Amino acid sequence: MTRSIHAAGGRGAAAFGLAALSLLALGLSAVPARADQGTGAAGPGTWQQHKMSFQFMGFTSTYSCDGLADKLRTLLLVAGARPDVKAEPGACASGFGRPDKFARADLTFYTLEPAQGSGASAPGTVAGSWRSVALSAHSPQDLQLGDCELVDQFRTQVLKSFTTQDLVNHTTCIPFQESGSVIDLRFEAFAAPRTPGAPPAR
């Protein structure tokens, strides 16, 4: 769960207006957060394991540790991590479901890395391809404007574990308020095809 802290102020409306004009000028349209399959050349890849402790450092929203873990699991799956993502609440002072200013989550996940040279025919390689990923408010469904700082921190700390290209980031987060904030992160990730019938990340 998350708790958003709202702060009133004239700069929120002004920033929102500038953000809206910028989006119109660029001619951007709403893009689903689900990864589109096969936008680039396919090739073999190998799974790489990653383990990290993620501590949220933001001003606008306060997460419970289990709520933070759920949000990060969603972001990892949308970005192309293997479905067996483990996102667990870290060591937090507050109890289950209670907001914690120092919310932390422990992550274990696998990402696909293009196989090079002789590794392309090595045992354990899987088919991979470049897929388009786009994050915005309500896409995926559970992503809210109050998650703006979380998305930006995910970009700087976690996304580097993925093999990505053509990253475009127009995310703008205004501390202590949602008004005027914009989530707009797009990139291509090298990932394995989704299992047919697997539910999308929410």
> What pLDDT is attached to residue 145?
96
Q: Tell me: the pLDDT tens digits for 151-182?
A: 999 999 999 999 999 999 999 999 999 999 99
> What pLDDT is attached to residue 200?
54
Distance CA 142, CA 58 (A): 18
Average pLDDT, the chain: 81
> What pLDDT is attached to residue 201?
58
| Tokens matching residue 135 | 């994050």
The Cα-based distances of 171 to 33, 39, 193 in angstroms read: 14, 23, 27
> What pLDDT is attached to residue 121?
67
* Residues 102-115, mean pLDDT to the nearest whole number: 96
> What pLDDT is attached to residue 40?
58
> What pLDDT is attached to residue 176?
92
Q: Tell me: the pLDDT tens digits for 61-76?
A: 999 999 999 999 999 9
Residues with Cβ within 8 Å of 96's Cβ and at least 6 positions away in sequence, in order, are 64, 65, 66, 89
pTM: 0.77
